[in-house]
Chains A and B, each alone.
Chain A
Amino acid sequence: MNLTLYVWRQKDAKDSGGFEKYTDECKDISEHMSFLELLDVVNERLIEKGKMPIAFDSDCREGICGTCSMVINGRPHGPWKKTTACQLHMRAFKDGDVIYIEPWRAKSFPVLQDLMVDRKALDDIVQAGGYISTNCGSAPDANSVQIGKEIADAAMDAAACIGCGACVAACPNASAMLFTAAKISHMNTLPQGKPEAGKRTLDMVNAMDQAGFGNCSNHLECEAACPKDIKATVIAEMNRAYAKASLTKR
Chain B
Amino acid sequence: MNLDAKIPEGPIAEKWENAKFSYKLVNPANKRKFDIIIVGSGLAGGSAAATLAELGYNVACFCYQDSPRRAHSIAAQGGINAAKNYQGDGDSVYRLFYDTVKGGDYRSREANVYRLAQVSRNIIDQATAMGVPFAREYGGTLANRSFGGAQVSRTFYARGQTGQQLLLGVYAGLSRQIKAGKVTMFTRHEMLEMVTHEGRAAGIVTRDMVSGKIESHAGHSVIMASGGYGNTFYLSTNAMGCNVTASYRAYKKGAGFANPCYTQIHPTCIPVSGEYQSKLTLMSESLRNDGRIWVPKNKEDCKKKPEQIPEEDRDYYLERKYPAFGNLVPRDVASRNAKLMCDEGRGVGATGFGVYLDFSDAIQRLGKKLVEERYGNLFEMYERITGDDPYSTPMKIYPAVHYTMGGLWVDYNLQSTVPGLFVLGEANFSDHGANRLGASALMQGLADGYFVIPYTLGNYLGSEKPEKISTDHAVFKEAEKSCKDRIEKLLAIDGKRTVDSFHKELGLIMWEHCGMARNESGLKKALELIPALREEFWSDVRVPGSGANLNQSLEKAGRVADFLEFGEIMCRDALTRDESCGGHFREEHQTEEGEAKRVDEKFSHAAVWEYKGEGNEPTRHEEPMTFEHVKFSSRSYK
Decide: A146 near B129, CB < 8 A? Known: A30-B274, A123-B175, A127-B178: no
Query: Does A119 reach chain B (CB closer than 8 Å)?
Result: yes
B175–A126 touching, CB < 8 Å: yes
A55 to B554 CA separation, bound complex (whole angstroms): 12
Do the beta carbons of B131 and A149 come within 8 Å of each other? no
Q: Establish whether residues A64 and B161, one from each chain, have CB atoms under 8 Å apart when the complex forms.
A: yes
- Residue of B whose beta carbon sits closest to that of A56: B552
Whether B172 is near chain A, meaning CB under 8 Å from some CB there, is: yes
Are A44 and B498 touching (Cβ within 8 A)? yes
Cross-chain contact B385 with A89 (CB below 8 angstroms): yes
Assess whether A55 is in contact with B276, with CB atoms less than 8 Å apart.
no
B519 at the interface (CB under 8 A from A): no
Q: Please report the C-alpha to C-alpha distance between residue A126 and residue B167 in the assembled complex, in whole angstroms.
A: 14
Chain A residues within 8 Å of B500, by CB: 40, 44
Question: Out of B47, B125, B384, B387, which one reaches A142, CB within 8 Å?
Answer: B125
Asked if B240 and A58 sit within 8 Å, CB to CB, the answer is: yes
State which residues 433-489 of B face A: CB under 8 Å. 450-451, 454
Do B122 and A139 touch (CB < 8 A)? yes
Q: How far is the CA of A37 from the CA of B274 in the complex (A)?
A: 11
Which residues of A are found within 8 Å of B69, using beta-carbon distances?
66, 123, 126, 163
Determine whether A217 belongs to the interface, using a CB cutoff of 8 Å to chain B.
no
A94 at the interface (CB under 8 A from B): no
- Give chain B residues whose Cβ lies under 8 Å from the Cβ of A132: 129-131, 172
Known A-B contacts A133-B176, A146-B141; the reply to A67 vs B66 at CB < 8 A is yes
Residues of B within 8 A of A64 (CB): 74-75, 161, 163-164
CA distance A34 to B280 in the complex (A): 11
Distance of A198 Cα from B141 Cα, bound (Å): 27
Interface residue ranges of A149-165 to B (CB < 8 Å): 149, 152-153, 155-156, 159-160, 162-163
Interface-located stretch among B93-101, B389-397, B542-550: B542-550
Residue of B nearest to A13 (CB): B210
- Could you say which residues of chain B place their CB within 8 Å of the CB of A118? 66, 210
B contact residues around A159 at 8 Å (CB): 131, 133, 158, 165, 168
Q: How far is the CA of A44 from the CA of B136 in the complex (A)?
A: 47
A152, B136: Cβ atoms closer than 8 Å = yes
Contact present for A156 and B210 (CB under 8 Å):
no
Q: Tell whether A186 pairs with B133 under 8 Å between CB atoms, given A66-B69, A128-B179, A143-B141.
A: yes
- Which residues from chain A contact B542 at a C-beta distance below 8 Å? 47-48
For the complex formed, measure the closest distance between the CB of A138 and the CB atoms of chain B, giving whole angstroms.
8
Does B112 count as interface, using CB distance less than 8 angstroms? no
Which residue of the partner chain, among A34, A116, A119, A131, contacts B550 with CB atoms under 8 Å?
A116
Q: How far is the CA of A128 from the CA of B176 in the complex (A)?
A: 8
Q: When the two chains form the complex, which single residue of B70, B139, B142, B185 contacts A66, counting CB atoms closer than 8 Å?
A: B70
- Chain A contributes a number of interface residues (CB within 8 A of B) equal to 77
Q: Among A63, A65, A140, find the residue whose CB has the most chain B CB atoms closer than 10 A.
A: A65
Q: Decide yes or no whether B72 CB sits under 8 A from chain A.
A: yes
Q: Which residues of B contact A141 (CB under 8 A)?
A: 125
Give every chain A residue within 8 A of B387 (Cβ-Cβ): 89, 91
B384→A83 contact, CB < 8 A: yes
Report A193 CB to chain B, min CB distance, Å.
6
Interface assignment of A245: CB less than 8 Å from any CB of chain B: no
In the assembled complex, the CB of B458 is this many whole angstroms from the nearest CB of chain A, namely 13
A29 to chain B minimum Cβ distance, whole angstroms, is 9
Which residues of chain A in 33-68 are interfacial with respect to chain B, using CB atoms and an 8 Å cutoff?
Answer: 33-34, 36-37, 40-41, 44, 47-48, 50-53, 55, 57-67
From B168, B173, B450, B544, A51 is in contact (CB under 8 Å) with: B544
Q: Are A62 and B70 in contact (CB under 8 A)?
A: no
Q: Is the CB of B126 within 8 A of A33?
A: no
Could you tell me if A65 and B125 are in contact, using CB atoms closer than 8 angstroms? no
Whether A192 sits at the interface, judged by CB under 8 Å, is yes
Question: Cβ of B277 < 8 Å from any Cβ of A?
Answer: yes
Known contacts A127-B178, A186-B131, A61 near B239 by CB under 8 Å: yes
Q: Is the pair B550, A136 in contact by a Cβ cutoff of 8 Å?
A: no
- A135 to B127 alpha-carbon distance, docked (Å): 11
Residue B134 at the chain A interface, CB threshold 8 Å: yes
Chain A residue nearest to B70 (CB atoms) is A65
A160: nearest chain-B partner, CB-CB = B161
B84: Cβ under 8 A from any A Cβ = yes
Nearest Cβ distance between residue A214 and chain B, in whole angstroms? 21
User: How many angstroms between the C-alpha atoms of A210 and B281 in the bound complex?
Assistant: 39
A190 within 8 Å of B by Cβ? yes
Docked-complex contact B130 and A131, CB < 8 angstroms: yes
Report the separation of the CA atoms of residues A128 and B180 in the bound assembly, to the nearest whole angstrom.
10
* Interface assignment of A168: CB less than 8 Å from any CB of chain B: no
In the complex, which residues of chain B have a beta carbon less than 8 angstroms from the beta carbon of A53? 544, 552-553
Residue in B130, B138, B165, B553 whose beta carbon sits within 8 Å of that of A47 in the complex: B553
* CB atoms of B51 and A65 under 8 A apart: no
Known: A32-B274, A62-B279, A143-B142. 15 other contacts (CB 8 A): A47-B544, A50-B544, A57-B66, A61-B278, A62-B381, A82-B380, A113-B550, A126-B172, A127-B176, A136-B47, A136-B126, A147-B136, A159-B131, A190-B131, A190-B133
Residue contacts A-B, CB under 8 angstroms, 10 given: A50-B544, A62-B282, A87-B381, A123-B68, A126-B175, A139-B122, A143-B86, A143-B141, A156-B159, A192-B131
Residues of A within 8 A of B (CB): 11-12, 30, 32-34, 36-37, 40-41, 44, 47-48, 50-53, 55, 57-67, 80, 82-83, 87, 89, 91, 112-113, 116, 118-120, 122-123, 126-128, 130-143, 146-149, 152-153, 155-156, 159-160, 162-163, 186-187, 190, 192-193
